[in-house]
Amino acid sequence: MRQIVLDTETTGLEISAGNRIIEIGCVEMVSRRLTGRTFHRYLNPDRDIEEGALAVHGITRARLEGEPRFPEIAQEFFDFIDGAELIIHNASFDLGFLDAEVARLANDPRKIDTRCRVLDTLTLARELHPGQRNNLDALCKRYGVDNSRREYHGALLDARILADVYLAMTGGQSALELGDAPRTGRKRADSVAAATPGPRAERPAVALPVVMANDEEMQAHEAMLERIAKQSGGKCLFRTLGESGV
């Protein structure tokens, strides 16, 4: 299965206020393995960035002046995600902004959820941990995922962190991370070698000792069964099983 873990950063929280996407970050997984393929673009929103959003991601409008606009990278983005399952934390937020950008395209655009299946890890986390905090930082702490580099939110960094969280939430992450040397500090060949199982250790057959109860222990056992039988009105499971030969 091909999955794309996706995150965005925006100029603000409300689409209705004209806010736009300024960063898209995606990482690819195939069969629950990070492949090393990513999609990462900063975008020129042609508008100011709200102070609240700036405090979260630290991306200024001046930083984005020379970046492309969404229509310039749209086809490359679609080519990267088409046919995959998107994994997004609080998917309604990111999909809402992506669909708003797509709607501005001139060539009869399709909504993102018609191109891809979508899995919302926030919904999954709420099912697994009802009544608890389930933002990305809380999940990192709960599952032991390192987010120490997350001084500011960033789309690609958050997508990589979310990939680790998702794998931990859904059964654990393989140590094999092909092509992801810049993030892990390991060369691809080293990663493959580390993931290759060594020879299986053979243990000699050893007969397990059988320890039988002595007379004193048997008498204490019978006395306990008698008390159970009296208190249960004769419904003593152990004696029933004994009489049946089980």
Question: Is 153 among the residues known to form the active site?
Answer: yes
Active-site annotation holder among 40, 57, 153, 221:
153
H helices, E strands: number in the chain = 12, 5
Provide the 3-class DSSP secondary structure of residue 161: helix
Tokens of 176: 């094999």
Helix (H) or strand (E) holding 30: strand 21-30
Tokens of 238: 């152990």
* 8 A C-beta contact, residue 112 and residue 95: yes
Q: Provide the 8-state DSSP code for 156.
A: H
- Give the Cα separation of 242 and 121 in Å (integer): 51
Tokens of 66: 């020379």
**Strand partners of residue 182:** none
Strand order in the sheet with 2-10: 33-42, 21-30, 2-10, 85-88, 117-120
Closest CA to 68 of 112, 120, 132, 20: 20
Please, which residues have CB within 8 angstroms of residue 100's CB and are 6 or more apart in sequence?
15, 20
Please list the active-site residues: 153
